[in-house]
Amino acid sequence: MSHAALLASALEGTTVLECGDARSEFAGLLLASLGASVIRLEGRHGSHSRHVGPFTTPEPNLEHSLCFSRYNLGKRSVTLEVDHPAARAAFERLAQNADIILDGGEAAAVARRAELYRTLRASHPRLIVCTVTPFGLDGPYCDLKMTNLTHLAFGGVMASCGYDPGPDGVYDTPPIAPGMWQAYHIACEYAVIAITAALNFRDLAEEGDFIDLSIHEAVSTCTEVAIPTWIYNQALVHRQTGRHAAEGRSRPWLRRTRDGRYVKAFMFWSGRERRVIAEMMTEAGIEHDLNSDAYRALVERSPSEAGAHFSAMIDRMCASMTAEEIFHRAQAKGLLWASVRYPEENLEDPHFQARGTFQPIAHPEIGRSMHYPVSVATDGRDRVTAFERGAPRLGEHTREVLSQAGFSPQAIADLTAAGAL
């Protein structure tokens, strides 16, 4: 078995019941990517993400949401109404055969279900429960209403992201929440870390765990130098355009290119970097004075002015080439630069094609496949991926899953009649 196949089947034989809303869906996806059998319990009206666009069809349709399909590849869908009293016995039976319950949502809703989960753990001690809620299940803020945007604000990410202030140091643009559901991504990554740790623990200790994950804490851990800067220096970092927030102002990283795009010219401003950039300018036919005695004298006299001059020369060089040209030329020189790409530009990039970064997933409703990023790793040759199918249709696996759990057709019909399905 290849190493990629080993990893893609690492959680083979592990069954996950995924309840709740979209907050924990990415965690279910990541578990599925490692070979777990993930059953999405989403109720008759479907997961919240089914109602979120973009849609593949002109009108919103809960079977055609790209948001849902993105976060639910490889899962099975069961329309069990977990909160309905008539569903309790069915849920308990599914849970008895499950290894993991994953539940994301507001604390009040999850806490109600958590009582049941604790009861289940008493009779099924190997069960692992992971709840993903805005602030965890306790604490003074646990009932606050939150979204991805407000998490990125309250957790500190936005305080570090945005644009330079004006010359007077006053910001006339707001802090920025980076695109997509990054608060939920971070929380779900931690949820899967906690779950894989618990699976290791279960191998040793023969018991599961109850994991109470806080999205707020997860986001808070992910702000790099901001917290240490306060703890050790009692200072704040200040957001800057296209580069790291810092106590003081740093030189730009984003440079406009000939094709109207940007290159991210990340630098430590080392002597080697300066030397190879001067070489790049020479090779590109850009007139420069960076090897002149006059420039060396400026460096001696005023490093700040010299740095500004050097930076202006980088701007000039970048303006003479396309972003992709600069990216490859700079990397050939060992510079840590990259073109600022649209995410979809990587679909056609030979590097990512060679690595199998994107996997085609059929979309019958539009008569073609779409290419999804499916994992972050290879084994040096093959992609680590376990997806044999795309996202499920609503309730596509209700009968299959309930039958496997021992429910007769009549019992399933009774559950439906009672409003549990």
Partner 1 sequence: MAEAQRPKRRPLEGVRVIDLTKIVAGPNATRILATMGAEVIRVEWHDQRALDLLRMVRPHAPGGDSESLNRSGLFNNINPGKYGATLNLSLPQGRDLLKRLVATAAVLCENYSPSQMESWGLGYDALRAINPGLIYLQITGMGKSGTYKSYLSVGPTAQGLSGLTHMSGLPEPMPPAGWGYSYLDHSTGYYGAMLAMAALIKRRRTGQGCYIDVSQTEVGILTSGTATLEAQLTGQPTARFGNRAQTGNWAPHGAYPCRGMDEWIAIAIQSDEQWRALIAAIGAPAWTADPRFATAEGRKANEDELDRVLAESTRGEERYDLMKRLQDRGIPGAIVQNAADRCERDQQLKARGYFVPLPHSEIGTWPIENFPAKFATMPVNVGGLPGRGAPTMGEDNDYVYGTLLGLPPEEIATLKEEWVI
In the window 159-188, what residues touch partner 1 (CB under 8 A)?
159-163, 165, 170-171, 173-182, 185-187
How many residues bind to partner 1 according to rule CB under 8 A? 155
Q: Which is nearer to partner 1, 180 or 413 (CB)?
A: 180
CB of 288 to partner 1, least distance (A): 24
Q: Does 334 bind partner 1 (CB under 8 A)?
A: yes
Candidates 16, 101, 384, 420: give the one binding partner 1 (CB under 8 A). Answer: 384
In the window 77-116, what residues touch partner 1 (CB under 8 A)?
none
Candidates 245, 278, 281, 402: give the one binding partner 1 (CB under 8 A). Answer: 245
DSSP β-ladder status, 128-133 and 209-214: parallel
CB of 406 to partner 1, least distance (A): 27
Q: Does 319 bind partner 1 (CB under 8 A)?
A: no
CB of 147 to partner 1, least distance (A): 4
Helix/strand/coil for 169: coil
* Cα–Cα distance for residue pair 123/82, rounded to 1 Å: 19
In the window 248-277, what residues touch partner 1 (CB under 8 A)?
253-254, 256, 262-264, 266
Alpha-carbon distance values, 86 to 21, 37, 400 (Å): 20, 25, 19
From the list 48, 109, 19, 74, the residue with the least C-alpha distance to 387 is 74
Candidates 297, 336, 362, 413: give the one binding partner 1 (CB under 8 A). Answer: 336
Q: Which is nearer to partner 1, 31 or 90 (CB)?
A: 31
In the window 1-60, what residues touch partner 1 (CB under 8 A)?
1, 3, 6-7, 9-11, 30, 34, 52-54, 56
From the list 63, 25, 70, 328, the residue with the least C-alpha distance to 191 is 25
DSSP β-ladder status, 76-78 and 100-104: unpaired
> Residue 418: phi, psi to the nearest 5?
-80, -5
CB of 285 to partner 1, least distance (A): 24
**What are the strands of the beta sheet with 254-256, ordered from one edge?**
254-256, 262-264, 338-339
Q: Does 355 bind partner 1 (CB under 8 A)?
A: yes
Candidates 41, 82, 94, 198: give the one binding partner 1 (CB under 8 A). Answer: 198
Burial of 254: CB neighbours in 10 Å, binned 0-12, 13-18, 19+: middle
Candidates 111, 352, 403, 405: give the one binding partner 1 (CB under 8 A). Answer: 352
Q: Which is nearer to partner 1, 136 or 395 (CB)?
A: 136
Q: Does 390 bind partner 1 (CB under 8 A)?
A: no
From the list 78, 74, 106, the residue with the least C-alpha distance to 90 is 78
Q: How far apart are the first and last CA of the chain?
A: 40
Alpha helices in 168-233 (DSSP H): 182-205, 215-220, 226-233
Stretch of 66-74, 87-95, 278-286, 298-306 lying at the interface with partner 1 (CB under 8 A)? 66-74
CB of 96 to partner 1, least distance (A): 19
Q: Which is nearer to partner 1, 191 or 415 (CB)?
A: 191
CB of 299 to partner 1, least distance (A): 23
* Cα–Cα distance for residue pair 160/243, rounded to 1 Å: 10
CA 95 to chain centre: 28
- In the shown chain, the binding pattern of residues 119 to 158 toward partner 1, with x for contact by CB under 8 A and - for none, equals -----------x----xx-xxxxx-xxxx-xxxxxxxx-x
Furthest-apart CA atoms within the chain: distance in Å:
91
Stretch of 37-45, 95-103, 208-216, 276-284 lying at the interface with partner 1 (CB under 8 A)? 208-216
Q: Which is nearer to partner 1, 19 or 191 (CB)?
A: 191
* Cα–Cα distance for residue pair 237/228, rounded to 1 Å: 10
In the window 217-236, what residues touch partner 1 (CB under 8 A)?
217-218, 220-236
Q: Which is nearer to partner 1, 116 or 193 (CB)?
A: 193
Q: Which residues contact 10 (CB under 8 A, 6 or more apart)?
A: 34, 35
From the list 212, 164, 157, the residue with the least C-alpha distance to 180 is 157
